[in-house]
């Protein structure tokens, strides 16, 4: 069971829609917190719900290594295993082809990893990546792909997109009409001609959704926005568009401005654990001495549990004292900020006021909006 309904397109081109999955509906545009190993670090499913989370992301490669996808299947599937009732999207392991390049060998049939946990050999093929995601019970499955690094040569970028297209066909054939929606991933680096070629090959497969991959691996923000916008223009308007691994709050705004519907990134959780907190006026680093006597909340206009109950001074104390509670509270705030930002953007799109919202977003930060290109 899966469908996507495009509800509104703002004059700017930003979109509001709705995903329907076996485990509930998702109003887009949406940000997906990253729960790589069946948990979003430091927070519980209850915290995630209270922050406004609608859908999570988990990772095929990591869950295959530990605790093992067959164990998760025996224990009732990923939703029951981690106590999350809402939709779950699983990455295929394709990002690890990039991030664990020193620990893998790539060939036309698949990729062989040397486990970062115990050194054991782990083999992923398009067919096994699909089978693992099906065992986990994913609502949205991703095709296995090759994600080349930023600055890859034209020949390497072409080889990656050709392998990605061939693997997408195999993933589609392996998945068939079983539960869960299979998304293809557009590659091609920053070369728009290669992007167009990759998009055409994937659109021909008539998949339920499409992702823009390979744009959060070292490219500057303006390149991410340029490639995302050009790629989205090549994808069917009636299918969801997912910009993988992005990003900063301004990256989300610029992605939505270019027609993106879905995002994920470890930034709000990882940065929270490292003491960086996001606010409407920019970010602050809570460990800094200037907050030692600061009785204000992180953001006076934020409605999260943290801002309603704790001061900057207290959060700084927790961080400096290395108290686990501080990591938890920082993460709760950052996730709430990200998800509230998405809700605000959706509301602006529905009202036909996204351009005004975008100007206000940058004005609050004392910045000028970058050009839309």
> Is the pLDDT assigned to residue 42 strictly greater than 90?
yes
State pLDDT tens for residues 65-103: 999 999 999 999 999 999 999 999 999 987 887 787 788
Q: Do 133 and 144 contact (CB within 8 A), yes or no? A: no
Q: How far apart are CA 33 and CA 332, in angstroms?
A: 11
pLDDT of residue 117: 87
Long-range contacts at 275-281 (CB < 8 A, ≥ 24 apart): 275/319, 275/330, 277/315, 277/330, 277/333, 277/334, 278/249, 278/333, 278/334, 278/337, 278/338, 279/337, 280/361, 280/364, 280/365, 281/364, 281/365, 281/366
- pLDDT score, position 102: 86
Using an 8 Å Cβ cutoff, are 310 and 295 in contact?
A: no
CATH code for residues 3-265:
3.20.20.105
Q: What does the chain come to in residues? A: 373
In whole numbers, what is the pLDDT of the chain averaged over residues?
A: 96
pLDDT digits (tens, 9 = 90+) for 331-343: 999 999 999 999 9
Candidate list 91, 251, 261, 299, residue with the active-site label:
91
DSSP annotation of 67: T
- Using the predicted structure, report yes or no on whether residue 137 has a pLDDT greater than 90: yes
pLDDT above 80 for 317: yes
What's residue 1's pLDDT? 86
Adjacent-strand bridge partners of 282: 279
Q: Which entry of 10, 139, 251, 264 is annotated as an active-site residue? A: 264
More confident residue, 118 or 295: 295
pLDDT digits (tens, 9 = 90+) for 139-164: 999 999 998 888 889 999 999 999 99
- For residue 359, the surrounding DSSP H or E stretch is helix 354-364
Which of the four pLDDT bands, split at 50, 70 and 90, describes residue 269?
Answer: very high
Share of the chain above pLDDT 70, in %: 100
Confidence (pLDDT) at 116: 86
pLDDT at residue number 373: 73
Q: Please give the average per-residue pLDDT across 185-199, as a whole number.
A: 96
- The verdict on whether 264 is a catalytic residue reads yes
* Domain residue spans of the chain: 3-265, 272-355
Specify whether 107 is catalytic.
no
Helices 249-257 and 221-232, axial angle in degrees (round to 10):
30
pTM: 0.97
44 pLDDT band (50/70/90 cuts)? Answer: very high
Residue of 75 and 122 predicted with greater confidence: 75
């Amino acid at each position: 069971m899966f469908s996507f309904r495009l509800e509104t397109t703002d004059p700017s081109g930003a979109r509001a829609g709705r995903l329907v999955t076996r485990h509930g509906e998702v109003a887009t545009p949406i940000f997906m917190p990253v729960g790589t190993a069946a948990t979003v670090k430091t927070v519980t499913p209850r915290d995630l719900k209270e922050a406004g989370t609608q859908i999570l992301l988990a990772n095929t490669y990591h869950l295959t290594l530990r605790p093992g996808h067959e164990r998760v299947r025996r224990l009732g599937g990923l939703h029951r295993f981690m106590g999350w009732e809402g939709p779950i999207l699983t990455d295929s392991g394709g990002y690890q082809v990039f991030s664990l390049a020193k620990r893998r060998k790539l060939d036309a049939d698949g990729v062989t990893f040397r486990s970062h946990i115990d050194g054991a050999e782990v083999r992923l093929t398009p067919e096994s990546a699909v089978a693992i995601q099906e065992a986990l019970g994913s609502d949205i499955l991703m095709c296995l792909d090759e994600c080349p690094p930023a600055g890859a040569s034209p020949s390497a970028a072409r080889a990656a997109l050709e392998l990605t297209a061939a693997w997408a066909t195999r993933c589609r054939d392996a998945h068939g009409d079983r539960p869960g929606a299979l998304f293809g991933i557009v590659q091609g680096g920053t070369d728009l001609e290669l992007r167009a070629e990759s998009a055409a090959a994937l659109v021909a497969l008539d998949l339920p959704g499409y992702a823009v991959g390979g744009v959060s691996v070292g490219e500057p923000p303006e390149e991410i926005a340029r490639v995302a916008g050009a790629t989205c223009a090549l994808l069917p308007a009636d299918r969801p568009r997912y910009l993988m691994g992005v990003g900063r709050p301004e990256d989300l705004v610029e992605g939505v401005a270019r027609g993106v519907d879905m995002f994920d990134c470890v930034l709000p959780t990882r940065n929270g654990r490292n003491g960086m907190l996001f606010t409407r006026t920019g970010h602050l680093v809570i460990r800094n001495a200037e907050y030692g006597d600061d009785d204000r909340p992180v953001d006076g206009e934020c409605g999260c549990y943290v801002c309603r109950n704790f001061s900057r001074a207290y959060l700084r104390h927790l961080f400096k004292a290395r108290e686990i509670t501080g990591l938890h509270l920082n993460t709760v705030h950052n996730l709430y900020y990200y998800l509230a930002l998405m809700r605000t953007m959706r509301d602006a799109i529905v009202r036909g006021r996204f351009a005004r919202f975008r100007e206000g977003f940058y004005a609050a930060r004392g910045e000028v909006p970058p050009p839309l290109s």
